[in-house]
Chains A and B, each alone.
Chain A
Amino acid sequence: MTALSGTDLPTPGLRSGTELVPPLPEGSAPQTGKDFSSDQEVRWCPGCGDYAVLKAVQGFLPDLGLRRENIVFVSGIGCSSRFPYYLDTYGMHSIHGRAPSIATGIATAREDLSVWVVTGDGDALSIGGNHLIHALRRNVNMTILLFNNRIYGLTKGQYSPTSEPGKITKSTPMGSVDHPFNPVSLALGAEASFVARTIDSDRKHLTSVLSAAAAHRGTSLVEIYQNCPIFNDGAFDAIKGQGDYKDGKADAIIPLVHGEQVRFGAPGEDGRGSKVVVRDPANGAVRVALASEVDESAVLVHDAHDPDPSTAFAISRLTAADYLHQAPIGIFRAVERPTYDDQTRTQLDTARKDAPAEATDRLAALISSGDTWTVV
């Protein structure tokens, strides 16, 4: 797959997500993935997609060039939430669904930390749904890695808020009647400033998305399709071109590259994808068409920096809601928006600017304010 982040991401003009985090001292030995591996034995099931993501993250973190002590990983509860134990950074494995709120406290308190949240579809979208959408709307400077395996793994196989309708699980013997969330649509609806989707098995793409997400200042949401070999094996075979879908990968993945036409499918005579995404002039929605049947000028050119999230949302709706036989992959949206934590700290700095230096004197003045009287 081509590099999907485009040539001009991260968002131009925006401060980098790690700008205030101290870099490695000059002349330090270059870091490797090993520097970020803790001494703890990794305990996911054999074949779990989490291994691939862990390797990719450990391999990617040295690229940031940051001091290990200034990186914090926070997670909730679930298989993927064990992630922080395996990284030799600061970390907290917290409680179910609450990682975004804890990370909000960390990121707001400290501008010098690179803050990461690791969560799953149950953790982020079910029990922690409220914290997720509020983190996204506030735009706190952190990167949220949402591992979506479309199942509850740690509790042994109940359907999740991203499971397809009709899913037969331990808790839904006659099939689930829940309508699933599309995490990307949800994030765009919450006005997230950075929304991307990637796949556990595509390390190159995963790494390029992580890189763009870390560089983005604000809340970056990265949905990672991740296979659970025990309770939901094969959920992503179509987009991985595996099993029954050996030749279907090109038709299943709609790659999004900023500034390029949205094109996929088996290559046509011109070597380009035979399917394209076009906008329906009637209702503004987007749909898939055969390249041969539409004019070149009608093909949608992906604009991740569009201030209006409508098109990104429309693209997100091309994700199959049932079995995942079609999904746009890449960076849906990356726009500049002031962050909650930067603005909060600016208010503190503004208030402090004219305050006398000695805190004790200010405290004495504060508690003596208002109407007072003196008894001698």
Chain B
Amino acid sequence: MSSQVQKQVKQLDRVIIRFAGDSGDGMQLTGDRFTQESAVFGNDLVTLPNFPAEIRAPQGTLPGVSSFQVHFADHDILTAGDAPDVLVAMNPAALKANIGDLPKGATIIVDTHDFSARNLTKAGYDANPLDFLGDAGSELGEFAVHPVDLTGMTVEAVKEFGLSRKDAARAKNMFALGLLSWMYGRPTESTTAFLTKRFAKVPAIRDANITAFKAGWNFGETTEAFAVSYEIKPAPVSPGTYRNISGNLALAYGLVAAGVQSGLPVFLGSYPITPASDILHELSKHKAFGVTTFQAEDEIAGVGAAIGASFAGHLGVTTTSGPGIALKSEAIGLAVMTELPLLVVDVQRGGPSTGLPTKTEQADLLQAMFGRNGEAPVPIVAPQSPGDCFDAAIEAARIAITYRTPVMLLSDGYLANGSEPWRIPETADLPVIEPNFATERNHVLKPEKVLEDGTVQPEEKDFWPYLRDEETLARPWAVPGTPGLEHRIGGLEKGEGHGNISYDPGNHDFMVRTRQAKVDRIAESLPPLEVDDPSGRAKVLVLGWGSTYGPIGAGVRRVRRAGYDVAQVHLRHLNPFPKDLGDILKRYDKVLVPEMNLGQLSMLLRAKYLVDAIGYNHVRGLPLKAAELAEAIGNLVADAEGITVDLTTSTVEEIS
């Protein structure tokens, strides 16, 4: 790629880019490719895809806008960023829908081709905002706007391939990707290889996309419109082999790993639902690991088949989102009663009811905790980042198999679709999970007896399916095919030990308490919480769970950089809570609990520890914003320490 214009190269420590266009414009793919290029380059990064629930929402309208935000940096970052530095807007609706998120001075690249009168009207513009560039007080006056005919140049660049105008124009996203790749010095090989493979069967489309991608790069290099390119150095990270990974992919890999590490075949019973379906798609590829995927007729059959498979000695898994959990609740209760291992994955989305299928939320915590009839305790595990979904899945499987219980794994839409660089673990470092199937009868029916004639009548044993392990309180897992251990289980209350139906009042009371005690007992196997309190002087603790880890960590950093003390703890286990949580809460004057719900963890903490947990709650379908969170933390620090907090005093250049 030749250079005709001498360009300036500026160093930056981080950039946030948002690609936005119609839902058919390929913005998710564009963002994903830019992310892969940045990952391979070695930047730290966090992404935030944001798209409508409709597959092809009405073209050119605000509801049809799909976007992909990528935040990449030369240092460790925790969030996808609050406000984009660069917006690529493929049409007027994409501009209109996103401009409110841009800070002053942000760069905007627009595809002028799609700024037609019709599209402007659809987006709600009375006049073309591009006509007033440079006018004082104009709508785009505060931004550095680059009007570029992306579509026109794409069509021109690919005309040799004889595509229809429509097909030719579809490569405009690759032109935009090429331009941005030049601006930020991204390596291009992986995208070229990707396009070659993706369109291998349609050479004209393949060549058009690669050509458009290169044309976009060359345009950046040669045009005078872009005088500066940028360099963001790789981030220093610990040694290892890395890849970029989304939460759903990491979770699926975690389930495969759980199967390998336990020696159990994985059986997924699932019904398609946004944003969990990708786990089903991914696991369906891994039959070589003995993974069975069953696409059921409904959510209930999905969990039903998983319970059946667990009874038969497989690792039963079901994946869904909140509405699916509602339908599966009765079956999860059956797994509680029959004490069978079961993984229930809830990729949370905005609710209630159908809610916001493609947006994120953490409002299923209490549903996971209590959403069943009767006293039906279910352990809950929540991953904190896309890559952490891998470890969380293995941990959930460990609990399910060891304690013979259904376990809820609470991911969410942000983790599911967001991605980050992930250091690939050594398989030798993964935990080994021991299923410990029952093989022998476990209960003495008749002890050994010496008869009058001196012959010894040997001991006679039978099998009691509810005779528990003393340490874990887990019951034996005896799978069909094991001779001598034939037994019946079911949803009716079980008699202690023998497991036959029992309506005895005392037995029921005992069994209810025992099932609870078994779940409580899991806390014995949990490591102590990591308390991040560098100065040891903090009076304020910020406690979170799940995907808010990134924004909370970024907010906490801002407060600390401004010179104030704040502690952070993040929970992976929501039921049972780790044993040391109560003591940790007591050590701080104020506890702030940020959540993407109206205070569900706060409610649990208040109930269990009588702590005055203060909620910080948003339910906008988007991750919490680090800057706003920092303000809230700062206010609480001011309150707790009786000081004035000014977060603008930071001496270090602001990062998140």
A contact set with B: CB distance below 8 Å = 38, 40, 67-72, 74, 77, 84-85, 87-95, 98, 100-110, 112-113, 130-131, 134, 344, 347-348, 350-352, 355, 359-360, 362-364, 366-376
Contacts and interface: CB of A to CB of B under 8 A. Distances in A.
A375 B42 contact: yes
Nearest to A83: B488
Contacts of B265: 109
A105 B287 contact: no
B312 A85 contact: no
B2 to A, nearest CB: 27
A69 B486 CA distance: 6
Nearest to A40: B500
A261 to B, nearest CB: 39
B137 interface: no
B210 interface: no
Given A70-B481, A134-B301, A92 B311 contact: yes
A257 to B, nearest CB: 34
Given A69-B480, A69-B486, A105 B305 contact: yes
B289 A113 contact: no
Closest 5 CB pairs of A and B: A105-B308, A93-B490, A101-B304, A105-B305, A351-B287
Interface string B230-249: 00000001111111100000
B263 to A, nearest CB: 8
Given A98-B331, A105-B307, A348-B290, A363 B314 contact: no
13 contacts: A69-B484, A70-B481, A85-B501, A104-B305, A105-B312, A106-B480, A109-B308, A134-B296, A360-B428, A366-B256, A366-B286, A367-B427, A376-B239
Interface string B282-295: 00001111101010
Given A110-B480, A374-B242, A375-B242, A105 B309 contact: yes
Given A69-B481, A364-B427, A371 B486 contact: no
Contacts of A348: 287, 290, 292
A106 B489 contact: no
Interface in B552-599: none
A219 B289 CA distance: 27
Given A368-B424, A373-B243, 12 more contacts: A90-B487, A93-B489, A94-B491, A105-B267, A109-B292, A110-B312, A110-B481, A350-B287, A355-B288, A368-B243, A371-B190, A373-B242
Contacts of A366: 253, 256, 286, 289
Contacts of A88: 486
A373 B237 CA distance: 12
Given A93-B492, A94-B491, A367-B425, A102 B241 contact: no
Given A104-B305, A130-B301, A366-B253, A373 B40 contact: yes
Contacts of B257: 363, 367
Interface of B: 36, 39-40, 42, 190, 237-244, 253, 256-257, 260, 265, 267, 269, 286-290, 292, 294, 296-298, 300-302, 304-314, 316, 330-331, 333-334, 338, 390, 424-428, 480-492, 500-501
B33 to A, nearest CB: 10
B297 A130 contact: yes
**Chain A CB within 10 Å, residue with most, of B39, B298, B489:** B489
B256 A94 contact: no
A363 to B, nearest CB: 5
A373 B488 contact: no
A109 B305 CA distance: 9
A374 B287 CA distance: 29
B106 to A, nearest CB: 29
Contacts of A350: 287
B424 A104 contact: no
B260 A359 contact: yes
Contact of A38 (B269, B424, B488): B488
Contact of A105 (B269, B290, B426, B492): B269
Nearest to A43: B501
A92 B288 contact: no
A373 B245 CA distance: 13
Contacts of A94: 304, 307, 334, 490-491
A113 B312 contact: yes
Contacts of A373: 39-40, 42, 241-243
A74 B292 contact: no
B286 A109 contact: no
Contacts of A85: 488, 490, 500-501
B243 A90 contact: no
Contact of A375 (B240, B305, B312, B480): B240
Contacts of A106: 308-309, 311-312, 480
Given A347-B287, A362-B288, A108 B309 contact: yes
Nearest to A374: B241
Contacts of B484: 69
B36 A371 contact: yes
A90 to B, nearest CB: 4
A150 B423 CA distance: 61
A41 B301 CA distance: 31
B267 A68 contact: no
Contact of A368 (B241, B256, B300, B390): B241
Contact of A371 (B40, B308, B338, B425): B40
Contacts of A351: 287-288
Nearest to A138: B297
B294 A105 contact: yes
B480 A362 contact: no
A144 to B, nearest CB: 14
A103 B289 contact: no
Contacts of A84: 488, 490
A205 to B, nearest CB: 28
A67 B301 contact: no
Given A69-B486, A359-B260, A108 B292 contact: yes
A100 B390 CA distance: 32
A93 B501 CA distance: 11
A109 B288 contact: no
Contact of B300 (A38, A90, A98, A113): A98
Given A94-B334, A106-B309, A106-B312, A89 B301 contact: no
Given A85-B488, A95-B330, A371-B243, A74 B287 contact: no
A319 B507 CA distance: 48
Contacts of B489: 91-93
B608 to A, nearest CB: 30
Nearest to B190: A371
Contacts of B300: 98, 101, 131
Nearest to B193: A371
A347 B284 CA distance: 11
A256 B309 CA distance: 37
**Chain B CB within 10 Å, residue with most, of A92, A360, A368:** A92
B628 to A, nearest CB: 33
A40 B495 CA distance: 13
Given A101-B308, A105-B305, A90 B288 contact: no
B308 A95 contact: no
A155 to B, nearest CB: 15
B491 A95 contact: yes
Contacts of B306: 105
B242 A93 contact: no
Contacts of B240: 374-375
Contacts of A89: 486
Nearest to B488: A91
B243 A344 contact: no
Contacts of A105: 267, 269, 294, 304-312, 316
A113 B301 contact: no
A42 to B, nearest CB: 12
A77 B337 CA distance: 15
A253 B330 CA distance: 41
Given A363-B427, A367-B253, A367-B425, A344 B292 contact: yes
Nearest to A359: B260
